[in-house]
Structure 1
Amino acid sequence: MNPRILLARRPSGAPVPEDFRFDQAPLPDLADGEVLVRHRFLSLDPYQRGRMDDAKSYAKPVAIGGVMECQAVGEVAASRDGRFREGDWVLGGFGWQAFSARPGKALIPIDPKEAPPSTSLGVLGMPGLTAWVGLKDIGEPKQGETLVVSAASGAVGQVVGQLGKIAGCRVVGIAGGPAKCAFVKDELGFDAALDHRQPLEAPLDAACPDGVDIYWENVGGAVQAAVFPRLRDFGRMVMCGMIAQYNGAPPPGPNLGPVVRKRLRIQGFIVSDTGWARYAQFRAEMLGHIAAGRLTWREDVVQGLANAPAAFIGLLEGRNFGKLVVALD
């Protein structure tokens, strides 16, 4: 049988355990060209909250009674595609379940000898690719510039800041609580780390005396309101996400009048627009940084499919520490 977590109902505000339902189904049959994947690690990410709502977006919502969406890595259990053999490791969009049948053409082969397989859901996966694409294409970091990263200890933020350091930027991270701030500064190597649970205005002025050239936006809300007025002329604001407002109505935003006066660039992006077509280049570059000791990461691993809903709810409340993954037996 195939254990699964389904969407039981659409949330009203923040998700609660009753919005999910555990289910079991027979293993899927394979058609020609398909591969049966035994999932080993599932990725929990903030964007999945949007898939729970029946609202127009860049991707379809999860249907009521449908398997919750996520990327996963796993091992090939059976194959009707000559490119894959039993035991091969693959990356793809498999959902909150133990097995899935997918077309071979939709799978990305990964080599577990290059890095632990779970990293293909974090630093070497969609979050890392998001950081790499957004910083390179929109942030355009230059030597000596100041980069501020919100949710700096999270899956995307920790990669953004380290890539900024590699590019020669002064990097200031914003995170929640002393432990996460210490991780950002001492382990990731950011130049400064600010706690968003305290007022940010004076610490931002001290950490960024000449203003901010690039702001990587993961949070929105009060953090955005504090950073935005400190953007310098020709500053860039990379709009990756705004987790602070995923569960309810957005708070009032900053006055956008200075966008014209300061000639600011504010741009959102979705990694699937151009990122996956560049995955091979991204992975090779990131593996080089890892081998040279320029890049590190932290994972928050939850054991067992049944614990995925509670872990996801905690993610939206900021209780995770690093890239959140679910390990399956």
Structure 2
Amino acid sequence: MALWGDVERAALVALLRHTPTEQGRRDLVQRITERGSVLDLLRERLGPADLFTDPMEDAVREAMRELASWEQEGIHVLTMGDEWYPYRLRDVFDRPPLLFGRGEIIPDDQGVAVVGSRAVSDPGRRVAGELARGLVERGLTVVSGLAAGVDAAAHRAAIRAGGRTVAVIGTGIRRCFPQENRDLHREVADYGAVISQFWPDKEPDKQTFPQRNGTMSGYALATVIVEATERSGTRIQARKAVEHGRPVILLRSVIERTQWARTAARLPDVHVVDNVEEAIALVDEVVDRPNQIEQLLISALGG
């Protein structure tokens, strides 16, 4: 897809303002991918101009004002047609058409998601911290959801280790949930980035967190699940990661405590490990896969 200019970016914002449902947005992404013209779709949605007014021109003008206001506030706005839109997320079928961010956005970021229960045990907190430090030592970004428990432990450990961490959040970029992580929210933006797929003032609800789990799966090279309950949101991320073709690494304690994890463990590219060392070894294999595939192609072509 060609990179978009200011008018196309504004047209997408305007089009999304007229597409309130999640399914509608998914359909919109597919239609944009097929047709390539956001302006055509916006015209189709708003109708033709008359002698006195043009609803599309008005909508685009208002969207340009919104974009300028967000950017003046220090909020990065990334559309699916921008070169700075995360590369790995661009490859998944349910990618969000629009992202808001604070901090340093790296399109080819190499990150691994470390997620788990909000009510984390002390051993789980230690495992999350050890995983984060191991990822930082390898120059990888620690990706998590800025929730209480495992997420917060992973973000803090990455920062203490001097590494990069990215939060994919389930609220608008101007909001923080839970409130106890407000300072951590700012720290993550300082030491990496905070990313949201929702309008900047969006409050959390029962749909936003599952949606962000899918986005986090698409952003990351792999997902490591440290702890979970039977109804944990991490099961959604595990399912989405499988759909996205991303490896899932489950600590054995998750298998022992949840039926969904035992079921997931039978799926392709879902792995069960006993400790942090085994998890990191699997991550090393995941990071090296592109090189292995390249070597196989070279060999097959007689290079």
With structure 1 as the length reference, what TM-score do the two structures score? 0.29
Structure number with higher relative contact order (C-alpha < 8 Å, ≥ 6 residues apart): 1
With structure 2 as the length reference, what TM-score do the two structures score? 0.31
